[in-house]
Amino acid sequence: MHPDNTHRELFKSIGRVLAQRRESTGLTQEQVAEVLQIGTEAVSRMERGITMPTIQRMAELADIYGCGIEELVIATSTSDQAELISQILHTLPEADRAMIVEVVQKIAERLKHHL
């Protein structure tokens, strides 16, 4: 069964987050594969979004990277949102992009203070 385009994008997003987490911890794919007792190609396939890690595997990866599973998923969602915002901004003139960034910064600051 091949994933449809929506699932493929999700797999790729999760793969990017997994690669970023691994790199930020200073680990190689070989080291992660060794801890998980799987082949390096399996780690590579997850990071490239070719395969989707099981929940059990996500928990193991979260342990290796020192985070919770939810952080891997939230980071995926956040990176997708950032990509969408980036695509929108690219369609606008520089002055409009600067204005939008300024507004987003002000809203984010205000929301932080209300938490």
Report the alpha-carbon distance of residue 54 to residue 105 in Å, rounded.
Answer: 36
Q: What's phi and psi for 53, nearest 5 deg?
A: -65, 145
Angle between helices 55-65 and 29-36 (to 10 degrees): 120
As a whole number of angstroms, the distance between CA 59 and CA 68 comes to 7
Digit-coded pLDDT (tens) for 83-115: 777 878 888 899 998 998 888 888 888 877 776
Q: How many residues does the chain have?
A: 115
Find the domain containing 65 and state its range.
5-84
- 22 within some domain: yes
Domain contains 80: yes
Q: Is 82 within 8 Å of 96 (Cβ atoms)?
A: no
Q: Does residue 45 fall inside a structural domain?
A: yes
Asked whether residue 25 carries a pLDDT value surpassing 70, the answer given is yes
Q: Domain of 11: which CATH number?
A: 1.10.260.40
Whether 100 is in a domain gets the answer no
